Amino acid sequence: MKIRKSIYSLYYEWWKNIDKFIFFLIVSLFVIGLFFSLVSTSLIASDKLDTNDYLFFFKHLFFVFLGIIIIFIFSLISKEKLFQFSPIIFLITLISLFLVPIIGVEVNSAKRWIDLYLLPRFQPIELLKPFLIILISLILSNEKYANIYLKYLISFLITLMIALLLAAQPDIGQTLLVFFIWSILIFVSGINTVFLITSCSILSIALYYSVRFVPKFEYIKNRILSFFNTETGTHNAQSEKAIESISSGGYFGKGLGEGTLKNRVPEAHTDYIISVISEEFGVIAIILILFLFLTFIYSVFQKVYLENEEKTKLILVGCISLILVQAMIHIGVNIRLFPTTGMTLPFISYGGSSIISVSILSGIILNLTKREIN
């Protein structure tokens, strides 16, 4: 009886303090992802692997359930404990990223996953990104060090180390995303614009020469050249099919189960989920999803505007910017604005590591936007 009362009291305190509207938006996006997994992408993914028709849906449901628990934990703990334990979790996830070249699993010519006994396969970078945001924010807002450029240097070296580990996998998409996180955080912290432009220019030049002359990155050069050559390019087939599917779906779609894209591209349930949805349910469904994303982003930025604490502001901007940019890249690939990157759509796409990552980000956002009501 006492245990039940303490659990209820814990839940009551949590529910009383969190921003319920932001929580509603997060749950709504997860539910939409589950719905499309149930009625569309799960069936074809299971069929390709010759497994139970609803295996992928139940796995998706499991990870969302786990994600909700993670959201509850990260939004329940105090802000001080979040700041205290995040560097430790960052270190643990960083070690797992170092282990990828040694014990990692290779999929599609890239070694990005770790497959441990009795644990689901996971992608370390997905778990690391939320804590990288917190660590960089804590460094940039640390008042013990007066020299702001020293803070930039330390944060840059940490980011560079992670980027080099990602490039070795190779995973240029996540490498660029990590540098983007760093750029956003130092920009919000009040960096000199000239310094930021110079830093980004140096990184761009380094990336250009790496892609052009490093043999391991040959596939990236081919993908970029193929992207700009629509007639002879061989890496555009999936994006072309995605655009065809969006066009053929029209405003209201072909109807449940009537889409063909999920049969024609290998990663329809992850990398091309937005096109699958558009083909079967129409542009109107995409507008609804975009509306929820934009409302979520706007609601968080409203909290940022009202926030006075520097590190809290930086963390919130970093978390919501990561979700926003990943969603933009996913949609951009689907409508052929960007080359294929293998980026999932947050909350919606299937993928355990991706769901856990966005759940941690959501938990952090709810933690830093909650009100302390006695």
Q: Which residue has the higher pLDDT, 125 or 10?
A: 125
Calculate mean pLDDT across residues 331-357.
81
- The 10s digit of each residue's pLDDT in 29-39 is 999 988 888 77
* Cα torsion 284, 289, 290, 294: sign: positive
Q: Indicate the pLDDT class of residue 228, thresholds 50, 70 and 90.
A: low
pTM: 0.87
CB 316 within 8 A of CB 304: yes
Q: Which residue has the higher pLDDT, 9 or 270?
A: 9
Q: Find where tokens 């060090």 sit.
A: 145
pLDDT higher than threshold 60 for residue 48: no
Burial of 55 (0-12, 13-18, 19+ CB in 10 A): middle
Q: Find where tokens 């978390």 sit.
A: 319
User: From CA 271, how far away is CA 223, in angstroms rounded?
Assistant: 16
CB 33 within 8 A of CB 347: yes
Calculate mean pLDDT across residues 6-21.
81
Q: Indicate the pLDDT class of residue 130, thresholds 50, 70 and 90.
A: very high
Across all residues in the chain, what is the average pLDDT?
80
Calculate mean pLDDT across residues 309-330.
91
Q: How distant is the alpha carbon of residue 332 from its chain centre?
A: 15
Q: What is the pLDDT of residue 258?
A: 62
CB 353 within 8 A of CB 367: no
pLDDT higher than threshold 90 for residue 215: no
pLDDT higher than threshold 80 for residue 238: no
